[in-house]
A and B are shown apart, each in its own frame.
Chain A
Amino acid sequence: MMQQKPSDPLSQGSRQTQAFLQTRNRRDRTARKAFFGITLIPVFLIIVITCLLVIRAWPILSSQPLADLLLGEVWKPTNEQFGFLPFILGTLWVTLVGVILAVPACLLVAIYLAEYARRSTRTIAKPVLDLLAAIPSVVYGVWGLLVIVPFVDDILGPFFHRWLGFVPVFSVTQPTGFGIFAGGIVLAVMIAPLIIAVTFEVLSTVPDELRQASLSLGATRWQTISKVVLPRVLPGIIAAVVLGASRALGETMAVLMVVGNVPSIPTSIFDTAYPLAALIANNFGEMMSIPLYDAALLSAALLLLVIIMVFNILSTFVLQRILGKARI
């Protein structure tokens, strides 16, 4: 267009401007493509991880019926017997104990911080929760070994055995302290910051007008919370707990250090267990020597991945709806 009007006195300047604009636009387009490519990495990564695990686990998934793998009780890699049931149950027990221990305290803390606490209390509580979240899992493991295992062995175990021992779930048969209960306590502390943070976030989406309306009718604060606030955000709180549970399912090192790692089906919370993540961590190094072992361990990883992904996606959808955007 510029070339058509050479007599224009502004042409020199506007040609430069035009060229500059074109360069900028070209850069913008190139950057858009490059950024778009990089943005595909996360999506791509999920697909690659899942596919690779499926491919590597295929030898065992195709040679043995799924029911035998998931419900088999015998774990003898040398005999090509790979029953995951003890490990699946171990994972579920430890996670369940952790979640049951964590949830009441976490919800109460989140409610307190969101509804009652003064600003100053919140500014103290936040760094505490951040630090709890930042502590590495081996350090939790060390703490578990030094404090929780002896505590379970000396105090909790005998206490439960004495007063609730007639219920099989609470009876102590191998008094070492290592076991599901110790793992559950460590997990409860580890998932607490996540559950508290998400619940707090969910609670703060409730409009203040609702609280004020309830309070002005003469309801106490707790009545307001239990009758007005909580029913409104119940799905969000459930999502927070599910998110915490999915974090607990995959926790490896800390649990591995306190849970005992004996592949048997637990019957009591004081029994030892052997969660899936610990199974992978303990055996991955030498798996190459035995046929199918590597496929078995990778199918354990696949199982873990699928369960956690389902948990995560469900809770993210619920939270997305409540918080108005995707976030943890």
Chain B
Amino acid sequence: MKKNPFAKRHIIETCMKVIMLASLILVTGTLGLILWTIIKNGIPAMSWEMLTQVPKGGFYMGKEGGILNAIIGSLYLAGGGTVLALVCSLPIALYLKAYLGESKWGSYVRLALDVLWGIPTIVYGAFGFAIMVSLGLRASLLAGIIVLALIELPIMTRAMDEVISRMPLEVEQAALAVGSTRLEVALRVVTRQMLPGIITAVLLAFGRGIGDAASVLFTAGYTDRIVTSLFRPTASLPLAVFFQLGSPFPEVRARGYAAAFILTVIVLIVSFGARLLSSRLGKYTIK
């Protein structure tokens, strides 16, 4: 029987294909549009001053200064949060693999991590602030770091868990067969095998941490000075964007766009870095 290209089902097939391609282009195009918007509005307000100076008098009325305080603050916040999250998430990921395996308890812990991942960051922020109020503490770098670590913990652990679960069972069994304890398997075999995965997970979590505004809004506060102590409030890039956009002065808003540009560039670098590193290091693992 000859194929009739005008049969209803073939027409539907072609139509659906076109619609699907259009959706793909729409999604990709949206990313392009977002990046283009940020670049177009951010570049004109960019200057060396923005990167190297703290806000001076009258900064919020469009006078001199930069957002170095926010850049440094954000790096400290996300860096500290990431280190703290790593200290907790590596043991959890190893425990899930080396000790719990695919058991029922393992899936409960994974469920708990997924639930934590889903909790909105504003709730973490409110939680952190409520604790700080009960303890009589004020906004500080340390509080921001701890809240960010809580937010990054599930992201990092699940990403690591995902990578280790792809490790061939034979590798683990071989190590156990020659008499390794579970701990030795975890530290000497699994950790080395999943190193690319750890790095990707850490960078992913760092990117999530540096971009989050809702959680640091009350816990880390905001200040025009560069933070020097864990117990002082600190500025952060997302909040710098947010506060400057609310300004009635066009110059200040333009600087808000520039701050958004800086934040986007940092996130893009981290995201590409993760991809690059994991593919580079991925060569040395047993697949």
- With A38-B95, A146-B41 in contact, do A301 and B184 touch (Cβ < 8 Å)? no
- Complex alpha-carbon distance, A43 and B133, angstroms: 24
Give A104 to B19 CA distance when docked, in angstroms.
Answer: 10
Whole-angstrom distance from the CB of A205 to the nearest CB of chain B? Answer: 16
Of B53-61, B191-199, B227-235, B264-272, the stretch lying at the interface with chain A is: B264-272
Known: A222-B12, A304-B123. A284 touches B20 (CB 8 A): no
Q: Is A89 among interface residues, defined by CB-CB distance under 8 A?
A: no
Q: Whole-angstrom distance from the CB of A315 to the nearest CB of chain B?
A: 9
Give chain B residues whose Cβ lies under 8 Å from the Cβ of A35.
91-92, 94-95, 99
| Count of chain B residues near A, Cβ 8 A | 91
B122:A39 contact, CB within 8 angstroms: no
Decide: A328 near B28, CB < 8 A? Known: A24-B184, A35-B99.
no
What is the CA–CA distance of A91 and B260 in the complex, to the nearest angstrom? 26
- Determine whether the beta carbon of A136 is less than 8 Å from that of B211: yes
Which residues of A sit under 8 angstroms from B271, Cβ to Cβ?
130-131, 134
A14 sits at the interface (CB 8 A) = no
Interface status of A281 (Cβ within 8 A of chain B): yes
Contact of B114 (CB < 8 Å), options: A24, A52, A121, A312: A312
**B131: which of A52, A137, A249, A312 is its contact (CB, 8 Å)?**
A52
B37 & A105 in contact (Cβ 8 Å cutoff): no
Q: Are B123 and A305 in contact (CB under 8 A)?
A: yes
In the complex, the answer to whether B118 meets A247 with C-beta atoms within 8 Å is yes
Complex contact A327–B158 (CB within 8 A): yes
B44 interfacial contact with A, CB 8 Å: no
Contacts of B281 on A, CB cut-off 8 Å? none
Q: Check if A49 sits within 8 Å of B95, measured CB to CB.
A: no
Q: Which of A63-71, A109-117, A157-165 contacts B (4 or more CB under 8 A)?
A: A109-117
Query: In whole angstroms, how far apart are the Cα atoms of A196 and B26 in the complex?
Result: 13
Q: Which residues of A contact B264 (CB under 8 A)?
A: 135-136, 139
State whether A220 and B123 are in contact (beta carbons under 8 Å apart), knowing that A142-B260, A316-B111 are contacts in the complex.
no
Given A250-B120, A301-B126, A328-B158, also A109-B267 (CB < 8 A): no
Q: Give the complex CA separation of A298 and B133 in angstroms.
A: 13
Could you say which of B30, B102, B111, B157 contacts A313, with CB atoms under 8 Å apart?
B111
Shortest B21–chain A CB gap in Å is 7
Partner of B115, one of A121, A134, A138, A313: A313
Distance to closest chain B CB from A228 (angstroms)? 14
CB distance from A194 to the nearest CB of B (A): 10
Tell me the chain B residues, 112-136 only, with Cβ under 8 Å from chain A: 112-127, 129-131, 133
Give the residues in chain B near A132, CB-CB below 8 Å: 27, 30-31, 34
Chain A 237-256 interface 0/1 with B at a Cβ cutoff of 8 Å (1 = within): 00000010011011111000
Check if A147 is an interface residue, CB within 8 A of chain B.
yes
Given contacts A35-B94, A135-B264, contact A142 B123 (CB under 8 A): no
Distance A141 CA – B243 CA, assembled complex (angstroms)? 12
Which residues of A come within 8 Å of B, CB atoms?
24-25, 27-28, 31-32, 34-36, 38-39, 41-43, 45-46, 49, 52-53, 56, 104-106, 108-109, 111-113, 116, 121, 125, 127-132, 134-143, 145-147, 189, 192, 196, 220-223, 243, 246-247, 249-253, 257, 277, 280-281, 284-285, 288, 294, 297-298, 301, 304-305, 308-309, 311-313, 316, 320, 325-328
